[in-house]
Amino acid sequence: MTTAVSESVLEKAAREYAEQGFSIIRNVIPKELIQELQAHVAWLTQKYPDLRPEHFHHPLIRNDAFWARVVSDRRLVDIAEFFLGPDVASFTAHYICKPPYDGQPVLWHQDGAYWPLSPMDALTVWLAVDESTVENGCLRMIPGSHVLPLHTPTSRTDTDNMLFSSARDEIVRQWSEERGVVCIELQPGDVSIHHPNLLHCSEPNTSARRRCGLDMGYISTATRIHGDRVYLDPLLVRGSDRSGVNTYRPFPAYQEGETIPFAGQDEWDDRVTQLNAALPSSATAAPAESPIESTRHMMDRLREGTTTR
């Protein structure tokens, strides 16, 4: 395939991914788009003042053309395609923004333990919107832990944390003692990728600098999505559907008030027309529930331990 990220870089990432369950790809997204992402976070913060910025979850994408444009960006989808094949959907995408001094941790977990997918043919692509360092709560990963089976998370409402749950302490202790822990420090525009079974976490942000990343989950379209309507239908970002079961949301065109103005929005609207015309006939409109209602519903269910995210 022809890609905006070089074949040699992707091949190196694939070797690291196979060995340790994660890899870092530098300088994927240019400064201009990162600045728009930062403006988008500021806009969301103003629009949803009662929602902690660690919880800018995927339901908020429903009518947001800029967010849909980002998760379907060729550079990001090229990475997903290299690992998942030519037919790719964006299943989940959310900002995890830890504000200065009181940013919440994300406790040790496996992404796949929260994802109602079969088969688990998925990839997490984490884009640094801000500089991500040890001091402001960067990702931490246990190399090689992707060989673990998926374990049901344990409820953790005893301490503030983004997922309200975590992997079992004894598993984390054993693997961290045997394999160590790697801190994933990133510059804005860098991407880290990891396996859905990999044990990873991030510490609280007690520094004076925000730490924000866009956490995206991509799947092969042969993967089936199960579960209730807490999940919105995915976006078909490349290729065609192979599951015969999943439904796909139409891509949103730019609407004033639903997102920020962004570079290339007229070209995006033209692309939306083409993308939506190519969707399977089973494509569905968004649920009647508002984006913020869906987000709060999902958070309530996470807190109760009764649903995946």
Contact 178, 92 (CB under 8 A): no
pTM confidence score: 0.93
Kindly state the helix (H) or strand (E) to which residue 234 belongs, with its residue range: none
- Residues spanned by the domain of 92: 7-304
Q: Token pair of 21, please?
A: 């369950």
| CATH number for position 266 | 2.60.120.620
- 249-256 contact pairs (CB < 8 A, 24+): 249/62, 249/283, 249/284, 249/285, 249/286, 250/276, 250/279, 250/283, 250/285, 251/65, 251/68, 251/72, 251/275, 251/276, 252/62, 252/63, 252/64, 252/65, 252/68, 253/65, 254/65, 254/66, 255/63, 255/65
For the chain, 309 residues long, give each residue's pLDDT as a single digit of tens.
545 799 999 999 999 999 999 999 999 999 999 999 999 999 999 999 988 889 887 777 778 999 999 999 999 999 999 999 999 999 999 999 999 999 999 999 999 998 989 999 999 999 999 999 999 999 999 999 999 999 999 988 888 887 888 999 999 999 999 999 999 999 999 999 999 999 999 999 999 999 999 999 999 999 999 875 555 579 999 999 998 888 898 999 999 999 999 999 999 999 999 999 989 876 665 566 777 777 776 766 666 664 454
Residues in the chain: 309
Number of domains in the chain: 1
Question: 229 in a domain, yes or no?
Answer: yes
Question: 289 in a domain, yes or no?
Answer: yes
Question: 309 in a domain, yes or no?
Answer: no
